[in-house]
Amino acid sequence: MPANDTRLGLGRYIQAIFNCGDIAIVNAVFATTLSLYPQITENHQTLRMLWLLVNICIMPLLIADFRHRHGRRAILMDHVIRKAVGIVGVHALFFLSIVAFLRIWIIPLHAYIFFYFTLLITLCVWHVSTRYFLKAMRRRGYNITRVVIVGTGPTAQRLFAVMQNDAGFGYKVCGFFDDECPDHFPGKYIGGISLLDSFVREKNVQQIFFTLSGQHEDFLRVVKVSDDTLAEFYYVPQISRYVSRRFELNSIGSMPLLSITRNPLKNPLNRIFKRFFDIVVSSVFLVFYPLIYIPVAIGIKLSSPGPVYFKQERTGYRGRSFMCLKFRTMRINAKSDEAQATRNDPRKTRFGDFLRRTSLDELPQFINVWKGDMSVVGPRPHMLKHTEEYTALVDRYMARHAVKPGITGWAQVNGYRGLTDELWKMERRVEHDVWYIENWTFLLDLKIMVRTVLNAIQGEKNAF
């Protein structure tokens, strides 16, 4: 192992530390419950049995979680919270079933409710905080995984960009191997595949990613290198970057197959739940809306003549147009339905510039949410002219209209908001929007909402 890479060995202990933390939390919450209900402790023999069962029921879940997470580097917070909820739910099912079977109901029902509610909150906080800590460690150079990529084509470059985009993944790409390398290649090109074996051994490479297509001999050579050096092997299929949905591995006999998982928002129950959440959030907001509307309306009227609201026809759900509301931030002009706002746009008023920088101009769209034209979270709606233009320029552009547009979205919290003066910006926005649609969860919506608030507080460079 290279001299400066002793930090690489920390990874083997991290999951064990996290699991020990889970066990400690379960016991601490159970002890807290007992202290609040002292009558439970009177029967010492039964109490010891219950305490033992509390720990026995958590062990299989932690073992399953360890096996499921082994080798995974990406940390998605909504998945982390969902896993914590699953652990608590399955533990309650196991524990209460055994208690009922053994007939040892010495704990009142409200004590069980307190125990599992407190355990759920505590585990969620613990899991999220430890995963953020792990990502911070990786950004500092700890828990790093050394990898090489076989191939220099578009798939290899996309994989490299994803690994480099978030240092919290903890990947260190040591080099690329291929028989040829394109000009202006973004990574470190080492040479042909014949050099792979010696390089993996010398640099202590832990994972090999194979991105070539139709290269049967090269595939076998790289697999042999993986077997000989004990480096983990991963095959990266040649899939368009716009096909961002999840895949499941199936098989027919010995033939492996990749099947696309179903779009979550095609499920009627998911759509009903999302709409219910939109109604609740928009209704609560609109109760307090006058407190925001009155001072903002006064500021707009004093800044320039014209209406308080700016109404613009935009593309909505399934391509249908709707009238999108915003607080007016510009002087009345003839290009409002054609030209996007720029950083120093002369059409903006001083008060309007403040509204844009703080994102307060978007708040009337809660009215659109309440009416059903929009959702709190979803792809941002574009003006009709841009929909017409980008449909011809960007693959899968119209796919972003498979759900209702949102006040905020996955693309926006990842930095792709504001002016799209270059085509690649719109391509990245569409890529993130399609990913959101195909990976939707309620926890993802909550995550986007929290990140939106944090970004607004910190200030966004593209908010103008």
Which one-letter amino acid corresponds to residue 206?
Q
Name residue, tokens 């978030």: 166
**Angstrom distance (rounded) from CA 35 to CA 41:** 9
Q: What is the mean pLDDT of the chain?
A: 85
More confident residue, 131 or 156: 156
What is the value of pTM for the model shown? Answer: 0.62
- Give the pLDDT of residue 214: 74
pLDDT band at 248 (very low <50, low <70, confident <90, very high): low
pLDDT, tens digit, for every residue of 289-313? 999 999 999 999 999 999 999 999 9
pLDDT, tens digit, for every residue of 354-393? 998 888 999 999 999 999 999 999 999 999 988 999 998 9
Percentage of residues of the chain with pLDDT beyond 90: 42
- Give the pLDDT of residue 364: 96
- The residues that bridge with 326 in the sheet, in sequence order, are 310
**Angstrom distance (rounded) from CA 429 to CA 410:** 9
- Of the segments 225-234, 341-350, 449-458, which one has the largest average pLDDT value? 225-234
Sign of the four-CA dihedral 355, 356, 358, 360: positive
The two tokens of residue 250 are 């199936």
**Angstrom distance (rounded) from CA 356 to CA 339:** 16
